[in-house]
Structure 1
């Protein structure tokens, strides 16, 4: 007999819930049931109870903690709420998925790791960009050995956003806010997932907009990670990058290099209503394929277009793996320990930027 789907409570009803979680959960209806949504202040044109009439509708997360039918809590709220909500959910006997950034400090992360261990409940962090098609393609290139020993690894998330956006939680200066916690956590996680914890961190965290909002958070950063054997990793976001094609990955090795422009298409597709399983979902157009340059005999260099991994492993994989973990058939898709270590890197970067020095981990 097939097992009953796990009842999921989604906390928050902003873009994260609507774009990155609910569509994926609905795509795995045999594993998960969208049981209820917490939306504190519905509006006539933004009402979870109307969009999902067959689910429970709550105004407070306190109702989730006390509902014995809830198996999994998905937190999509602002970062400074993650620690208290996650801790309460774990102590209430729920498994928890936390949006990035995990929490705002390493100390908060360690506390939640201890609570998860004590309660025996699963805790994972939503780092969906481990399933970006271009990142998976890059992993394939690295695994092939065609680049030789990796000497430099650059990952960019640059944009052209000259004007300060309307006031919102992401742009306010508060714990867990700003570009390094928003875009940066994705890229830092990809680097950590590929190479592990660096030995040294150098950071410059700044604001590039000419007329920043008073009381606003940083909008840009450049981070340098040093690893053994002289591997140097650059992680960078610039908001003043006037390019028609933004550089994403540039990896250089002793026997070749790989360069990739543009970002994964899934976010934009989900925003316009495409769903997992639709034809073309997650498939990158040929114009965004990367290029691989290898060094042959006599030092002759050959450059070729390198096709993005296809068929794509989409963001649905995160929840598929989580369902397997709930059944005791594997680990969670992203360990909370990994997210804690990425926070160690971020904290070191802030120290480095503030004190103008390199920090040893």
Structure 2
């Protein structure tokens, strides 16, 4: 007999819910899209019409009263992540929160404590841990193919010098948990910490590259993560980068280097309506493969380094399903995203004060 799938309720019905969560939930046989909280449905944007048979709620408070809801996915703006996560946990629901976890590390720590108190699962959707090029790089690191790594650059650069209208999206406004450092920087710092562990010092440059910035949003960032081992990690998200091929990774060690351009294609495939399991999903063209340079006979030799076979973002929900059944841990332990938020706080403080900060020193938490 097939076990009854776990009922999932999603709070929010924007791009995140439609592109990054619902297709993956619907592709997991252990899970069921049970409900959506959509505050103001429109004739051409109505979750209940798009997904006949689901429950439709107008508020999180109303939804958490439904005893059939077992898991809540929070996909709203970061300013509401803490309150909605707390609400769901305190009503006995397991919780997935879209990145960034919360605007402050203090709030993240509190949610972790609430989850433990109520014996509920809590995880954060750091889906770019399953970018195929990052997994390819991780394999090279595991194999020691680059030797002792001394520099790791991870980029998410785009050429978008014109600021969006602040009335069109919350992402174009200065809000707690908003801006490039919380949006793209969260992914990039998370990958760095997953690959190399927490740094010892941090230097941040957080601000705006746009000449006209009506929303006063921090649209770009460059963050240096310093390790006592000698490793220097550069995390960079730019909006003024007029390149045909945007750099994604450049990793250098004493035995070799890995360089990769272009962003993992899964996001574009999901936006186009493709799903994991569809032919070609998550596969980059051979022309976009990275390059691996190794030292042979004292001379650098470069060869194409194709991506490994895609695991895809579906791995997140697959592992979460196992965690619900008590067969595995959550795919992203919340302590790491909490620590990433702390690094973001320190990067912004470093940028403001114009100095490198030693992370081991005590700095006041951000409320």
Could you tell me the TM-score, scaled by structure 1's length? 0.98
Q: How does 1:37-52 map to 2 (within 5 A)?
A: 37-52=36-51
Q: How does 1:154-233 map to 2 (within 5 A)?
A: 154-167=153-166, 168-213=169-214, 215-233=215-233
Who is 2:315 aligned against? 317
Q: Which runs of 4+ in 1 moved over 4 A?
A: none
Distance in 1 (CA, whole Å) between partners of 2:300 and 2:102 is 46
Aligned residue pairs, count: 357
Distance in 1 (CA, whole Å) between partners of 2:136 and 2:154 is 14
Unaligned runs of 5+ in 1: none
Matched, 1:65 2:47: no
Distance in 2 (CA, whole Å) between partners of 1:16 and 1:97 is 13
Distance in 2 (CA, whole Å) between partners of 1:301 and 1:89 is 54
Q: Secondary structure at the match of 1:154?
A: strand
Could you tell me the TM-score, scaled by structure 2's length? 0.96
Distance in 2 (CA, whole Å) between partners of 1:331 and 1:50 is 35
Q: How does 1:10-25 map to 2 (within 5 A)?
A: 10-25=10-25
Q: Which range moved further: 282-291 or 92-101?
A: 282-291
Cα distance, 1:166 vs structure 2: 2.1
Distance in 2 (CA, whole Å) between partners of 1:174 and 1:164 is 16
Q: How does 1:88-127 map to 2 (within 5 A)?
A: 88-127=87-126
Q: Secondary structure at the match of 1:241?
A: coil
Who is 1:129 aligned against? 128
Distance in 1 (CA, whole Å) between partners of 2:142 and 2:105 is 31
Cα RMSD (Å) of the superposition?
A: 0.8
Distance in 1 (CA, whole Å) between partners of 2:87 and 2:143 is 45
Q: Secondary structure at the match of 1:331?
A: coil
Q: Secondary structure at the match of 2:41?
A: coil
Distance in 2 (CA, whole Å) between partners of 1:305 and 1:144 is 17
Q: Secondary structure at the match of 1:109?
A: helix
Who is 2:362 aligned against? none
Unaligned runs of 5+ in 2: 360-367
Cα distance, 1:216 vs structure 2: 2.2
